[in-house]
Structure 1
Amino acid sequence: MSRLENQFTVQFWGVRGSIPSPGPHTVRYGGNTPCVEMQVGGKRLIFDGGTGLHVLGQSLLRQMPLEGHLFFTHSHWDHMQGFPFFAPGFIKGNHFKIYGAIAPDGSTIEQRLNDQMLHPNFPVPLQIMQANLNFCDITAGQPIHINDITVETAPLNHPGEAVGYRVNWRDGAAAYITDTEHFPDRLDENVLWLARNADILIYDCTYTDEEYHSPTSPRIGWGHSTWQEAVKIAKAAHVKTLAIFHHDPAHNDEFLDHVGNQAGEEFAGAVMAREGMVLHVPVSATISESCPVGNLSA
């Protein structure tokens, strides 16, 4: 058995929300929109197809042929705008299974990915992609099984609906929970369930509490949460590592440094998600392998 088949890693390819934000003031954390890759027991699971998916795709071109599973939380542009630029999707011999819930208007994830590549929005249609694309409609609340990996799902509180995911393998777990807005008077039971005892919780921390409750420009009802609420969830769910994610496009590196310092004071396991960051989920060892220790690398 290869070393990769005994590992559970999480790599961030896009950590920004709403709109890509490249420039000199976002270099350290990155400006690409959401894309997180998990390599779990030799399987590649990809969460969301923001512009970070393009960067991931370029890195995968030397690994042909490819198989992977791509999970969409929802189809707002910042979570799917990288899909038409995912180079491995255009290469025959690659295989991708693509998961997404049916939208409130009845459209499937295949229809929505197809529609964003139609004229006048894009020069070539989805059908030009030569990889084998297998689209799967899912229902939030029902698990997905990929060999010995179980992906649990739950609905999130977001305009137009969204799905949160939790990946379970051996005795390790990582939760991917974005885009979601907290409730004013209680912790979201769906979020708590997905996050329960997770080794890694990736959570939507677009705003600070001050921005969310701003007297001049409140963000209430916009579908996103705060790092302060993330800390509450992490503590209540007994999470080991909290990855603060989906950074607001107006938050530059210095601002995010400040958020990271504050969050770290409130929760020792808090880290700021940044492009290129890799987190390791510790999992039980097989007969000839030692158990990897959870750590953080750039």
Structure 2
Amino acid sequence: MKDDFYLRFWGVRGSCASPGVDTLIYGGNTSCVEVRAGDRLLILDAGTGLIPLGTNLRELDGALQADLLLSHIHYDHIMGLPFFSPAYHPDSQLRIWAGNCNGGIEAAMHRFVQPPFFPVPLKGMSAQFSFHDFISGDTLALSGEVQVRTTALNHPDGATGYRIDYDGRSICYITDTEHPKEGLDDKIVTLIQDADIVIYDATYNDDDYPAHLGWGHSTWEVGLALCEKANAGTLVVFHHAPERTDAELRALDQVIHLRRPGSVVAREGMVLKP
């Protein structure tokens, strides 16, 4: 197994950060995944997990070049950006991508990172930013051997799912999305077909999902069904509800492994290689 394509989880929660004694093992930061593909750094979402990732990157690299792929711009997926320490390094280059962002991602980020909500406006951060809008379903024009395909997801205000292909291997990132009332989302099945790793929004389970219809999230049971239909490899249960405890997630880890061996529950610090 080659070591030049891997991912590391820095934030695995949804909706809001959930620090506390009951979340020490799996972690309480919101969505952020580091992906290394050869010499390329891709970051999936900018939740509070982006903050410890930034600390780690500054210690290792100082300035950085990275592509930040946003599933959408709800707070739990962008709130780490103002505190991302490499964004204050003048030699850092940060390319921010977002699909179907009303008014464009650059304008949205400037509205988000400015007084009185945050004392430093985006233009006051020293990094070199570039902003890239696309339509969910596009293939992104990243240079080199990395290919990124996208699809639209079912979430309030819209969201984008990603598939990263490199050197014959693939990682899919599917959050936040709500499954259809009947059957499976064919767009997702197509995107994750034969993928090595599928990170999937499993905020709920079959028991608690009915109380959250229309909230834009899915279940681990649907994640299993999608991977089965698409002949995908490892299912990674992700975007844990903030109230899920370590004990509950540990029990879920055992259940999904029995249902589909190799499946795992995402945990901060976990490293996976396709």
1:119 equivalent to 2:112? Answer no
Please point out which of 80, 84, 87 is paired with 1:89.
Answer: 87
Please point out which of 96, 104, 107 is paired with 2:103.
Answer: 107
Name the amino acid aligned to 1:75.
Answer: I
Deviations along 1:244-280, whole A, 9 cap, x unmatched?
0000001000011121121111111210100000001
**Structure 2 length-normalised TM:** 0.96
Deviations along 1:209-264, whole A, 9 cap, x unmatched?
10002xxxx11100000011111011111111111000000100001112112111
Deviations along 1:34-72, whole A, 9 cap, x unmatched?
000100011000000000001100001121231111000
Report the counterpart of residue 216 of structure 2 in structure 1: 223
SS at match of 2:207: helix
- Is the Cα contact below 8 Å between 2:100 and 2:136 reproduced in 1? no
* Separation (CA, whole Å) in 1 of partners of 2:128 and 2:10: 23
RMSD, aligned α-carbons: 1.3
Name the amino acid aligned to 2:107.
Answer: Q
1:75 equivalent to 2:68? Answer no
SS at match of 2:212: coil
Report the counterpart of residue 205 of structure 1 in structure 2: 202
Deviations along 1:175-216, whole A, 9 cap, x unmatched?
000000001211101111121111100000000110002xxx
Report the counterpart of residue 144 of structure 1 in structure 2: 140
- Is the Cα contact below 8 Å between 2:99 and 2:160 reproduced in 1? yes
* Within-5 A mapping of 1:136-175: 136-146=132-142, 147-175=144-172
SS at match of 1:210: coil
Deviations along 1:85-107, whole A, 9 cap, x unmatched?
0010111011111101232xx32
Name the amino acid aligned to 1:24.
Answer: V
Please point out which of 259, 267, 273 is paired with 1:266.
Answer: 259
Deviation at 1:136, TM superposition (A): 0.7
Name the amino acid aligned to 1:276.
Answer: G
- Is the Cα contact below 8 Å between 2:197 and 2:235 reproduced in 1? yes
| Bigger CA radius of gyration | 1
* Separation (CA, whole Å) in 1 of partners of 2:119 and 2:125: 13
Please point out which of 4, 15, 19 is paired with 1:18.
Answer: 15
* Separation (CA, whole Å) in 2 of partners of 1:118 and 1:131: 16
* Separation (CA, whole Å) in 2 of partners of 1:245 and 1:136: 26
Report the counterpart of residue 235 of structure 2 in structure 1: 242
Name the amino acid aligned to 1:225.
Answer: S
* Separation (CA, whole Å) in 1 of partners of 2:100 and 2:221: 31
Q: State how many pairs are aligned.
A: 272
**What runs of 5+ residues in structure 1 fail to find an aligned partner?**
282-298
**What runs of 5+ residues in structure 2 fail to find an aligned partner?**
none
**Structure 1 length-normalised TM:** 0.89
Name the amino acid aligned to 1:212.
Answer: Y
1:275 equivalent to 2:268? Answer yes
* Separation (CA, whole Å) in 1 of partners of 2:47 and 2:89: 20
Report the counterpart of residue 287 of structure 1 in structure 2: none
Report the counterpart of residue 190 of structure 1 in structure 2: 187
* Separation (CA, whole Å) in 2 of partners of 1:277 and 1:261: 16
SS at match of 1:193: helix
Please point out which of 54, 59, 71 is paired with 1:57.
Answer: 54
